[in-house]
Amino acid sequence: MASEIKVDTIVNAGGDNDTGIDLATNDQILLKVANATKLTMNSTGQTTIVGEGGTTTTSIQQGLTKCWCKFDGTASTPSFSDSFNMASITDEGTGDYTVNIANDMANDDYSCTTHGINRTFLENFDQVLVGSVRFVGRTQAGNATDINEAGVQICGDLA
């Protein structure tokens, strides 16, 4: 038979209640330090933490980059040098790429940031979908060009 401990609060070794884990409520867990709640997790898994300044909170789920990648767009078959939650890259032509998201976004209202090096930039198309985003690399003169180091970061809600 498995062991079981039933408690409402876990406190520090000194016995005071200003630091520890509060399990007394049925719908959330509170992590306290110096008698102030620093982390809250509710019954659905939504987690908030105190921000850097100590006065505001940040939602872990809302505040994370949901997917990102870095790749060499000059390769004959572009592939990720590193990535998170990205499935693949489709080469649509000179400087024209579609990155495919492994776990779809909830909708197409997410924020997408791109970058390229060597005086190039990435221009988003109107093709921002829940499972992919398409963009083209351009020179300062506006000509489509393959980019040897490109990156994409996406923030928003996962499906």
What are the tens digits of pLDDT across the range 47-72? 899 887 777 888 888 778 999 999 99
CA–CA gap between residue 153 and residue 70 (Å, rounded): 9
CA–CA gap between residue 136 and residue 147 (Å, rounded): 9
Residue 126 has pLDDT above 70, yes or no: no
Strand partners, 11: 20
**What is the reported pLDDT for 11?**
75
- When pLDDT is averaged across residues 9-35 and rounded to a whole number, the result is 75
Strands 47-50 and 36-42: antiparallel
State both tokens at 84: 């998170």
What are the tens digits of pLDDT across the range 134-154? 999 888 888 999 988 999 999
17 band by pLDDT with thresholds 50, 70 and 90? low
**What is the reported pLDDT for 59?**
84
Query: What's the pTM value of the predicted model, to 2 decimals?
Result: 0.73
Residues in the chain: 159
CA–CA gap between residue 22 and residue 35 (Å, rounded): 11
Instruction: Using only the alpha carbons of the chain, give its radius of gyration.
Output: 22
